[in-house]
């Protein structure tokens, strides 16, 4: 299985639990690096089962694919007969209405010959406790998935399905999303301002236009686990970068989430983490 680097830890765990060997291809601010992806495909001993991507307000990188990058990925997928698993839990959470066209899934591209399986979720727009999502896939794959799901958990909770249906059928989702977008935009702004204030100049980070996350990159000599230990001792937590590395090695980055935390706590948390990074820079 090919993935982005960094990539969503839950997907990596699901793939490896079925014995998959993982290979990560780096992301930049516009999406997966197409040239690098082509080179990796050339170098593989066998065709990968699929490429897993998280293009819209990426977990953990926080970025959104540019239209051009999506187009080039689609073309490469067609050319190489590469199946894409397009994971989209955050696409509705854009901060600016003008960015909405960027969230159009590859699955929704007209005239594409690429095989795309698209997965969506209520986890980030109604709540993770719902455990509800959906899949759009070619019939042969959808049938297999249905059988596998039936053998695994019989079915998703009908109780939370009824709740989600009532919420949608009652027309409550659009207003709720507007509220979420406003809240998350404000929290992201607070986090970005705090990063600018508290991080040493050697550290860089992504600027999210939606979603939950900021991805922070330190010089390669630094270890996020050591920064984590110093931060957690003073009450600030984050997820270390190696958790998001399909090859489990690189650990000079980390993921910050602004979604759940009130703004005053965000500012204080980033200050604590900034102090820990600064101390670590002086240590190495």
Q: Which of 66, 71, 112, 156 binds its own copies (CB under 8 A)?
A: 156
Distance of CA 280 to the CA centre of its chain: 27
Looking at beta carbons only, is 63 or 240 nearer to its own copies?
240
Among 23, 107, 131, 268, binds its own copies (CB under 8 A): 131
Cα separation, 123 vs 180, whole angstroms: 13
Please choose, out of 49-57, 159-167, 171-179, 233-241, the segment that lies near its own copies by the rule CB under 8 A.
159-167
Around 164, how many Cα atoms within 13 Å sit in the side-chain half-sphere?
20
The token pair at 256 is 């910050």
Contact between 134 and its own copies per CB under 8 A = no
Q: How far is the CB of 127 from its own copies (least distance, A)?
A: 7
Measured distance CA(146)–CA(93) in Å, rounded: 28
Distance CA 15, CA 95 (A): 31
DSSP SS3 for 273: helix
State which of residues 68, 104, 128, 220 lies at the interface with its own copies (CB under 8 A).
128
Query: What is the footprint of its own copies within residues 161-220 (CB under 8 A)?
Result: 161-163
47 versus 155: smaller Cβ distance to its own copies: 155
Contact with its own copies (CB under 8 A): which of 66, 71, 115, 157?
157
Near its own copies by CB under 8 A: residue from 47, 108, 155, 279: 155
Is residue 239 a contact partner of residue 272, using CB atoms and an 8 Å limit? Answer: no
Q: Is 14 in the site for its own copies (CB under 8 A)?
A: yes
| 122 vs 205, beta carbon nearer its own copies | 122
What is the distance between the alpha carbons of residues 127 and 119, in angstroms, rounded to a whole number?
Answer: 16
Nearer to its own copies, 38 or 180 (CB): 180
Residues near its own copies (CB under 8 A), total:
26
- SS3 for 54-71 is CCECCCCCCCECCHHHHH
Residue 34 or 173: which CB sits closer to its own copies? 173
Q: Residue 15 or 65: which CB sits closer to its own copies?
A: 15
Sheet holding 31-32, edge to edge: 31-32, 23-28, 2-5, 51-53, 84-88, 116-121, 133-136
Q: Which two tokens stand for residue 151?
A: 């053998």
Judged by the rule CB under 8 A, the positions of this chain that interact with its own copies are 10, 13-14, 16-17, 127-131, 147-148, 150-163
């Amino acid at each position: 299985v090919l993935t982005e680097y960094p990539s969503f830890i839950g997907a990596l765990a699901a793939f490896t639990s079925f014995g998959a060997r993982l290979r990560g291809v780096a992301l930049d601010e516009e999406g997966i690096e197409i040239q690098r992806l082509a080179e990796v495909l050339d170098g593989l001993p066998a065709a990968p089962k699929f490429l897993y991507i998280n293009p819209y307000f990426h977990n953990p990188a926080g970025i959104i694919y540019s239209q051009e990058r999506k187009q080039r990925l689609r073309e490469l997928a067609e050319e190489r007969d590469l199946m894409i698993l397009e994971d989209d839990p955050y696409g509705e959470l854009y901060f600016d209405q003008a960015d909405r066209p960027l969230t159009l899934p590859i699955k929704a591209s007209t005239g594409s010959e690429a095989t795309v399986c698209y997965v969506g979720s209520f986890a980030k727009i109604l709540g993770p406790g719902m455990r509800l999502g959906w899949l759009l896939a070619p019939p042969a794959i959808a049938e297999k998935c249905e059988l596998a799901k039936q053998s695994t958990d019989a079915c998703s909770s009908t109780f939370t399905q009824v709740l989600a249906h009532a919420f949608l059928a009652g027309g409550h989702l659009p207003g709720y999303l507007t509220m979420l977008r406003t809240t998350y935009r404000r929290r992201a702004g607070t986090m970005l301002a705090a990063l600018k204030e508290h991080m040493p100049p050697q550290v860089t980070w992504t600027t999210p236009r939606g979603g939950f996350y900021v991805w922070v990159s330190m010089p390669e000599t630094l270890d996020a686990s050591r920064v984590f230990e110093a931060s957690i001792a003073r009450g600030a937590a984050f997820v270390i970068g190696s958790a998001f590395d399909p090859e489990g090695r690189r650990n000079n980055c980390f993921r910050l989430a602004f979604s759940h935390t009130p703004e005053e706590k965000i500012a204080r948390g980033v200050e604590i983490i900034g102090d820990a990074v600064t101390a670590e820079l002086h240590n190495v």
